[in-house]
Amino acid sequence: MKILGIETSCDETGIAIYDSEQGLIGHQLHSQINLHQLYGGVVPELASRDHIRQLAPLLKGLLKTTGLLMSDINALAVTAGPGLIGALLVGVGFARGLATALQVPCIPVHHMEAHLLAALMTSERVQFPFLSLLVSGGHTLLVHARALGDYVILGQSIDDAAGEAFDKTAKLLDLGYPGGPAIAQCAQNGQAQHFEFPRPMMNKPGMDFSFSGLKTFVLNTWMHSDQSAQTKADIAHAFQEAVVDTLVRKCQRALDATGLTQLVVAGGVGANQLLRERLTHLGQQHGITVEYPPLAFCTDNGAMVAYTGWCYWREGRRIPTHIKARARWPLDAL
């Protein structure tokens, strides 16, 4: 059984084929970074238009590199939400059209569940139940993953997502887009002791996050500084420390509260090296295994979508006949 996965929820066009016997047999990605860089963030209308341009050539390329024909595809899986509605509609329309032409089923996929399952695709060690830290451009979630489609949200951001905080802070410091890698790189030259930024919501019980205040803190610090390259690096360093430390400490709370012994990190911010180091250290201290998908499957991609489709198919879950794109779609309402 071969499932073609399609991802267009934000600024990456991803496409992949997952085979029930061989696993992932091919994937292609087109990033829109160059397109949005000029604006310092994703421009939704440009994103939708670019997905329209990229999907057919990506599919052609994927079939060529895998040596497959369209008729070899047995099912489609497409990200139906959450995400930018116009961008989602492009992928959903494309997938529905293909599925109708090929007379195969089309499986709607929740983007965050796909991020969460990426670790299962890439490591046999990962098994339900586990704790997942989902940190992307649009979401910051601590999730008790009990089984496929069965998720309890333990904590989430009440304002900016972690990735969004990186992106907005990078914009303030004129570091470019996407902000995560830009801040991480700039922070490498930063001095550890120069600035100490707050750890938002650490003094309150619970596992929710708030990152929007940090950005204001960055702005104030920057505006009242000498605005040198060194100061910029010091601020990037302090900002990254504050975000990572907050994420790690909330993970610790969630592990203590649930007694879970496996932590799975997913989403674009999961590519952050400092976060990985600190969580690995946390795992060593508490006898907990920490799993990360390889970097290519941490950020948006088609492979996680094809794999999620396969998981639903394998379990014989009901596949809806009509797929609707949904900008908002809570993970615990699956």
CB of 49 to ligand KG4, least distance (A): 19
SS3 222: helix
Specify whether the CB–CB gap between 51 and 11 falls below 8 A. Answer: no
Identify which of residues 186 and 311 has a Cβ nearer to Zn ion in the complex: 311
CB of 271 to ligand KG4, least distance (A): 4
Identify which of residues 5 and 179 has a Cβ nearer to ligand KG4 in the complex: 179
Measure Cα distances from 152 to 88, 129, 131, 143, 332 in Å. Answer: 25, 11, 10, 6, 6
Binding site for ligand KG4 (CB under 6 A): 10, 136-138, 163, 166-167, 178-181, 184, 267-269, 271-272, 299-300
Strands in 289-291's sheet, in edge-to-edge order, are 150-156, 140-147, 130-135, 262-266, 289-291
Whole-angstrom Cα distance, residue 241 to residue 224? 20
Site for Zn ion in 273-312 (CB under 5 A): 300
- Residue 239 touches which of Zn ion, ligand KG4, none (CB < 5 to 8 A by kind)? none
- Residue 42 touches which of Zn ion, ligand KG4, none (CB < 5 to 8 A by kind)? none
Angle at 111 between CA 43 and CA 68, to 5 degrees: 100
Measure Cα distances from 243 to 71, 168, 330 in Å. Answer: 47, 13, 24
- Residue 121 touches which of Zn ion, ligand KG4, none (CB < 5 to 8 A by kind)? none
Identify which of residues 104 and 178 has a Cβ nearer to ligand KG4 in the complex: 178
Identify which of residues 113 and 300 has a Cβ nearer to Zn ion in the complex: 300
Residue type, 46: L
Residue 153: which residues within 8 A CB-CB, separation 6 or more? Answer: 141, 142, 143, 330, 331, 332
Identify which of residues 46 and 68 has a Cβ nearer to ligand KG4 in the complex: 46
How many angstroms from the chain centroid is the CA of residue 144? Answer: 17
Residue with tokens 């596992």: 207
Burial of 285 (0-12, 13-18, 19+ CB in 10 A): exposed
CB of 80 to Zn ion, least distance (A): 14
- Residue 262 touches which of Zn ion, ligand KG4, none (CB < 5 to 8 A by kind)? none
- Residue 166 touches which of Zn ion, ligand KG4, none (CB < 5 to 8 A by kind)? ligand KG4
Please work out the total of residues on this chain that contact Zn ion, with binding judged by CB under 5 A: 2
Identify which of residues 112 and 290 has a Cβ nearer to Zn ion in the complex: 112
CB of 264 to ligand KG4, least distance (A): 14
Burial of 100 (0-12, 13-18, 19+ CB in 10 A): exposed
CB of 273 to ligand KG4, least distance (A): 7
> Token pair for residue 334?
């699956």
Site for Zn ion in 108-167 (CB under 5 A): 136
- Residue 323 touches which of Zn ion, ligand KG4, none (CB < 5 to 8 A by kind)? none
- Residue 309 touches which of ligand KG4, Zn ion, none (CB < 5 to 8 A by kind)? none
CB of 13 to ligand KG4, least distance (A): 12
Specify whether the CB–CB gap between 37 and 31 falls below 8 A. Answer: no
CB of 298 to ligand KG4, least distance (A): 7
Residues that bind Zn ion (CB under 5 A): 136, 300
